[in-house]
């Protein structure tokens, strides 16, 4: 059995974030797609970050990219009907066994249960979701998302709970869903509409969850 790649734990340290630091897990052997930082100190107008390691991986789109690769292989074998899913990111081709578009469930943004918020029917495309309700940590009684806002160096902190993006490329959908989540409940939908992204936003409010869709997402239900 092949030996698993070694892992190194490094800390992203913020000079004015108090005791709250962020541990980043990276592979130190094997694999590709690594970004080598030429300088271990990254500065912004408000903060300075010190990196103990010079390598970072592009794991944010890994699942979507892997789905695209598997789908491409199936396309090479000229399979006209399939569904590929890795960690919640999806690519579909053709129609299901009933001759209908594939029904893809979008999960409700709850930390204590797994319910369906909505269902989108699609064909020949990819679907990816980014949210704050599965991967998070608790610090001094508050939940912190695993998604870091690069503008602040801190976990995203707003009431946009999840973003689903539909695109022919699952990797693009994966990356775009994360980016729109970082932007938040106002800037995220605006950018998605501007770029023509088929996006579905779940926004927390005092009474529950508000659903917001872009015009291209609405077209999915009409086609």
On whether residue 175 sits in a domain, the answer given is yes
Residue-level pLDDT at 76: 93
Whether 103 and 139 share a structural domain: yes
Whether 134 and 161 share a structural domain: yes
- Residue 26 and residue 30: Cα distance in Å, rounded? 11
Whether 166 and 76 share a structural domain: yes
Residue-level pLDDT at 14: 38
What global pTM score does this model have?
0.73
- Domain limit, last residue, from 23, 40, 57: 57
Whether 121 and 140 share a structural domain: yes
Whether 76 and 150 share a structural domain: yes
Q: How many domains does the chain have?
A: 2
Residue-level pLDDT at 131: 87
On whether residue 2 sits in a domain, the answer given is no
Residue-level pLDDT at 136: 67
- Counting as low any pLDDT under 70, the low residues of the chain are 1-60, 136-137, 142-143, 223
Residue-level pLDDT at 101: 96
> Residue 20's domain spans which residues?
7-57
Whether 74 and 149 share a structural domain: yes
Whether 74 and 51 share a structural domain: no
Beta bridge partners, 38, equal none
Whether 71 and 92 share a structural domain: yes
Q: Convert the pLDDT of each residue in 34-48 to its tens digit.
A: 333 333 433 334 444
Whether 125 and 196 share a structural domain: yes
Whether 156 and 46 share a structural domain: no
On whether residue 1 sits in a domain, the answer given is no
By CB atoms closer than 10 A (0-12, 13-18, 19+), residue 60 is middle
| CATH code: domain of residue 209 | 3.10.520.10
Residue-level pLDDT at 177: 95
């Amino acid at each position: 059995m092949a030996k698993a790649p070694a892992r190194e734990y490094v800390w992203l340290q913020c000079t004015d974030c108090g005791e709250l630091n962020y541990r980043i897990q990276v592979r130190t052997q094997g694999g590709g797609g690594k970004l080598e930082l030429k300088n271990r100190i990254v500065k912004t107008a408000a903060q300075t970050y010190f990196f103990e390691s010079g390598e970072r991986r592009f794991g944010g789109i890994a699942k979507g990219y892997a789905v695209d690769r598997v789908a491409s292989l199936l396309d090479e074998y000229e399979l006209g009907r399939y569904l590929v899913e890795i960690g919640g990111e999806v690519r579909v081709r053709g129609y299901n066994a009933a001759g209908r578009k594939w029904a893809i469930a979008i999960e409700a943004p709850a930390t204590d249960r797994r319910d369906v918020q909505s269902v989108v029917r699609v064909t020949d495309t990819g679907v990816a979701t980014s949210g704050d309700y599965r991967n998070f940590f608790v610090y001094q009684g508050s939940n912190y998302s695993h998604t870091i806002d690069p503008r602040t160096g801190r976990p995203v902190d707003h009431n946009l709970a999840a973003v689903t993006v539909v695109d022919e490329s699952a990797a693009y959908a994966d990356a775009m869903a994360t980016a729109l989540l970082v932007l938040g409940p106002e800037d995220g939908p605006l950018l998605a509409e501007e770029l023509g992204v088929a996006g579905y936003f779940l926004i927390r409010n005092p009474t529950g969850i508000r659903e917001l869709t872009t015009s291209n997402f609405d077209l999915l239900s009409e086609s």
